[in-house]
């Protein structure tokens, strides 16, 4: 039998504390592909959709691929954008026998805290109660009962930095095909605890996340479970169902699955205070001393990651404190990625390649925290349309084309600075090389990222230092967040004894 399968993606992680709502324009900036635009963009890439296309060929499915939409993490998705995305997506679901889709799991829309739960329940309504629906997720998903009930299986990535979307989608495809042929009847249950955060923020190298992922994979290998997914949650979403979760998918009766999920979450609760890495290694001043001291004769770059302006967590990407310090320290053979500032890009275009001029950079969204606008005398070295083809292995997907929108590389003293029109954290070397920056031969490379940069940049680094640049995700600002919608009591906001 030839099965018709819905595939596609709607991906967004909402930082509900961000003051910039996420609109369709933000999706267009990152990736918004409809229908026939999708195969040439995703076939042959190491993405979830790349796997879906290959699986369709192997299993003889006919794919319906109405939508592939993702946007850089940011504020709550507007009602208009959410409804339009759902309309596109669900129109392609009509007449399908099953679904293999990629969602994030921490999307929040206006009037809808549990956006993925809503998408899955609407999809379930179209496909009917018996159609298998498999969704891959980010491991920072805030998974809900509604998601578990409406999906047949939820398969979260198992790496952070996330580099296994392709493998997880293939796992989902195998499971989906067995379900379509009536060999299994997958059902999914969920367990949670009153935790706002935990599982070491999702770090998969060592610690409780590693332990639970290994235990889950052992259960899959011994066929005691079809899928075990461990999610760390995303604590910058001020929603009722925030926090870590374990979902277990089994064939048929779910009693034992629930017991496993509860046992796993007991462990997550017991280890909730475990932290494997310091949040900050050095102050900006110390980072500058280390950079200057190691500059001469460096054969590999010192990587400075400003965790406070990480757009991957919903920060604005236009903080200037670290760049200002690098200019003041007169760093040589250095690179900085990036200042998100479409107006500055236009100013650079007006000055023209090869010319020098004065530009105001960044500091627009949270000037009281990140350092405010920075006036520089810059040489315009390159202007591009922002397109680059990913080397991998990051979540952007090796082989996939992405874009920052119109972009500049400007030289300020000895520092090559990327200025971009669409916001994205630095996770792929091509984001620099496409602008003419060679990170391999820099003495110092400054990035704005918390952990995802490590997949591509740690292998080329002589050392990595995490710096708090004072932006909205800096330690001081995060400690001042006021939660209003999370369920209470919840750790660590409240004292709880279980």
Residue nearest to Zn ion (CB): 140
Q: Are 166 and 52 in contact (CB under 8 A)?
A: no
Q: Secondary structure of 403-450 in the HEC alphabet?
A: ECCCEEEEEECCEEEEEECCCCCCCCCHHHHCCCCCHHHCCEEEECCC
Instruction: State the minimum distance, in angstroms, from the CB of residue 138 to Zn ion.
Output: 4
Task: Give the shortest CB-180-to-Zn ion separation in angstroms.
Answer: 29
Token pair belonging to 64: 């319906």
Question: Is 141 or 400 the residue whose CB approaches Zn ion more closely?
Answer: 141
Q: For Zn ion, which is the closer residue by CB, 6 or 268?
A: 268
- Which one, 140 or 422, has the nearer CB to Zn ion? 140
- At its nearest, how many Å lie between Zn ion and the CB of residue 236? 12
Which residues are 7's β-sheet partners?
100
Quickly count: other Cβ atoms within 10 Å of residue 124's Cβ: 19
Site of interaction with Zn ion (CB under 5 A): 138, 140
| Closest CB 450 distance from Zn ion, rounded Å | 10
Q: How far is the CB of 39 from Zn ion (least distance, A)?
A: 26
- Closest by CA to 168, choosing from 329, 338, 389, 395, is 395
Which residue has tokens 């679904």? 99
Q: How far is the CB of 213 from Zn ion (least distance, A)?
A: 14
Distance CA 243, CA 233 (A): 4
Q: Which of 357, 347, 342, 460 is nearest to 411 (CA)?
A: 357
Taking the complex as a whole, the smallest distance from the CB of residue 266 to Zn ion amounts, in Å, to 24
165: DSSP letter: H
**CA–CA separation, 320 and 450 (whole Å):** 17
Nearer to Zn ion, 3 or 450 (CB): 450
Nearer to Zn ion, 210 or 292 (CB): 210
Tell me the two tokens of residue 375.
């006036």
Beta bridge partners of 226: none
Q: How far is the CB of 184 from Zn ion (least distance, A)?
A: 28
| Residue given tokens 């001469």 in the structure block | 296
Contact indicator for 287, 465 with CB cutoff of 8 Å: yes
Tokens representing 73?
A: 């993490």
Q: Smallest distance from the beta carbon of 351 to Zn ion, in angstroms?
A: 37
253, 270, 245, 36: which is closest to 148 by C-alpha? 245
CB atoms within 10 A of CB 385: 12
How far apart, in Å, are the Cα atoms of 96 and each of 58, 168, 172?
18, 22, 17
Could you tell me how many residues make up the chain?
Answer: 498
Q: Which is nearer to Zn ion, 138 or 241 (CB)?
A: 138
Distance (Å, whole) CA 174 – CA 170: 6
Indicate the residue among 140 and 364 with the shorter CB distance to Zn ion: 140
Pick the closer one to Zn ion by CB: 55 or 213: 213
Q: Tell me whether residue 106 or residue 173 sits nearer to Zn ion (CB atom).
A: 106
- Closest to Zn ion by CB, 42 vs 140, is 140
Provide, rounded to whole angstroms, the least separation between the CB of residue 200 and Zn ion. 13
Contact by Cβ (8 Å): 419, 397:
no
């Amino acid at each position: 039998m030839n099965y018709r399968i819905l595939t596609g993606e709607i991906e967004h992680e909402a930082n509900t504390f961000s003051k910039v709502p996420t609109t369709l324009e933000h999706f267009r900036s990152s990736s918004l592909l409809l229908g026939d635009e999708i195969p040439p963009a995703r076939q042959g890439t190491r993405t979830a959709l790349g796997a879906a296309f290959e699986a369709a060929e192997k299993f003889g499915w006919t794919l319906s691929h109405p939508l592939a939409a993702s946007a850089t993490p940011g504020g709550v998705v507007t009602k208009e954008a959410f409804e339009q995305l759902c309309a596109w997506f669900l129109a392609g679901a009509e007449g399908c026998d099953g679904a293999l889709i990629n969602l994030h799991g921490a999307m929040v829309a206006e009037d809808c805290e549990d956006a993925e739960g809503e998408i899955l329940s609407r999809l379930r309504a179209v496909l009917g109660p018996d159609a298998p629906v498999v969704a891959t997720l980010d491991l920072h998903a805030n998974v809900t009962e509604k998601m578990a009930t409406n999906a047949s299986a939820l398969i979260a990535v198992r790496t952070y930095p996330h580099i296994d979307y392709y493998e997880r989608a293939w796992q989902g495809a195998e499971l989906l095909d067995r379900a379509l042929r009536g060999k299994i009847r997958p059902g999914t249950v969920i367990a949670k605890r009153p935790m706002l955060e935990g599982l070491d923020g999702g770090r998969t190298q060592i610690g409780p996340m590693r332990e639970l992922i290994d235990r889950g994979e052992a259960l899959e290998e011994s066929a005691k479970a079809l899928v075990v997914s461990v999610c760390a949650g995303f604590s910058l979403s001020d929603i009722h169902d925030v926090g870590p979760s374990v979902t277990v998918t089994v064939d048929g009766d779910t009693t034992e699955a629930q017991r496993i999920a509860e046992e796993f979450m007991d462990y997550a609760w017991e280890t909730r205070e475990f932290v494997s890495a310091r949040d900050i290694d050095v102050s900006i001043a110390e980072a500058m001393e280390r950079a200057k001291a190691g500059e001469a004769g460096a054969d590999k770059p010192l990587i400075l990651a400003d965790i406070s302006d990480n757009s991957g967590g919903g920060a604005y990407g236009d903080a200037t404190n670290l760049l200002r310090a690098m200019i003041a320290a007169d760093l040589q053979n250095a690179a900085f990625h990036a200042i998100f500032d479409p107006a500055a890009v236009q100013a650079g275009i007006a000055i023209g390649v090869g010319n020098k001029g004065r530009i105001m950079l960044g500091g627009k969204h949270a000037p009281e925290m990140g350092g405010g606008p920075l006036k520089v005398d810059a040489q315009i070295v390159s202007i591009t349309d922002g397109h680059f083809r990913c080397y991998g292995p990051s979540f952007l997907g090796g082989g996939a084309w992405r874009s920052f929108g119109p972009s500049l590389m400007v030289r300020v003293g000895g520092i090559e600075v990327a200025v971009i029109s669409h916001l994205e954290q630095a996770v792929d070397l091509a984001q620099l090389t496409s602008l003419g920056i060679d990170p391999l031969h820099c003495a110092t490379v400054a990035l704005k990222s918390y952990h995802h940069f490590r997949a591509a940049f740690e292998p080329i680094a002589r050392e990595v230092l995490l710096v708090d640049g004072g932006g909205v995700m800096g330690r001081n600002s995060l400690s001042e967040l006021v939660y209003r919608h999370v369920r209470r009591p919840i750790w660590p906001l409240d004292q709880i004894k279980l």
